[in-house]
Amino acid sequence: MKTWVYKILDKFLELMSKIDYVPNSNVNPTSINTTNSIASTNYPWYQIVNGNDLAQGDILLEFPVFEIPKNYLDNVDTGNVQMIINYQNLIVMTQSCDLVIRRDGKSKIDHVLLCPIYFKKDLAQHSIYSKSSEWENARQGKHLGFHVLNCCNLEDHNYDFILVDLKRNYSINFAVLADFVSRQQSRVRLLPPYREHLSQAFARSFMRVGLPVDIPKFSK
């Protein structure tokens, strides 16, 4: 029985190895490129997309995020409350299958989950991430709640290394996001398997469990 299963698995892996990556139909194939000398041309990190077909890994720049001021409860009875608008760089975390627009023009969900992102050059004065050693720790997954993405050198979309803050989340109305991206000429989308790697890091940051009595460290 095991031998039969292994033969099927070997045949499946053989067929998968012969399949080339096919870009999205809305993507210009000439826009796909590697992000640095380390990345393989067979597995690019990013591609340029346009239109309002959202997917997990879409990077949205300077999206307006509304925040409630600290003194909200002091003024709510008067009806005089001023909202704070911050323009935040975000990445879509919701699964792509939930973002597909059906024939009736609607999607499975009403709100999309996003996380804020920060470019390495913009953290030059940060107390922690101004240091390359801390970026290396984050790259290795030692900073729980943060995830590092590669730089991007696609045409008209040159981005530095990206730090994703998995601890902060925004839930944005789907229609608002779709309208936002439709007004942009193009945007960058994170590709598999790097997209799934990000999703795994996001899940790990929420699924961790602290034990009341842990196993002691093993000594030599």
Which pLDDT tens digit goes with each residue over 97-108?
A: 999 888 877 788
pLDDT score of 112: 96
pLDDT score of 131: 96
> From CA 47, how far away is CA 214, in angstroms rounded?
44
Strand 162-165 and strand 157-159: pairing? Answer: unpaired
pLDDT score of 19: 42
Alpha helices, DSSP H, located in the chain: 2-17, 72-75, 132-139, 174-182, 194-207
Closest among 133, 135, 131, 158 to 146, alpha carbons compared: 135
What is the phi/psi pair of residue 85, to 5°? -110, 120
Question: DSSP class of residue 122?
Answer: G
> From CA 149, how far away is CA 172, in angstroms rounded?
23
Beta-carbon neighbour count of residue 51 at 10 Å?
14
> From CA 105, how far away is CA 131, in angstroms rounded?
47
Q: What is the DSSP string of 78-95?
A: TT--PPEEEEEEEEE-S-
59 within 8 A of 187, measured Cβ to Cβ? yes
Beta-carbon neighbour count of residue 168 at 10 Å?
12
Beta-ladder partners of 85:
66
> From CA 68, how far away is CA 90, in angstroms rounded?
19
> 51-207 has which CATH code?
2.30.30.110
- Report residues of the chain scoring pLDDT below 70: 1-41, 75-76, 79
Beta-carbon neighbour count of residue 208 at 10 Å?
9
What pTM, to 2 d.p., does this model score? 0.76
pLDDT score of 40: 53
> From CA 145, how far away is CA 168, in angstroms rounded?
9
∠ CA 77-80-81, rounded to 5°:
95
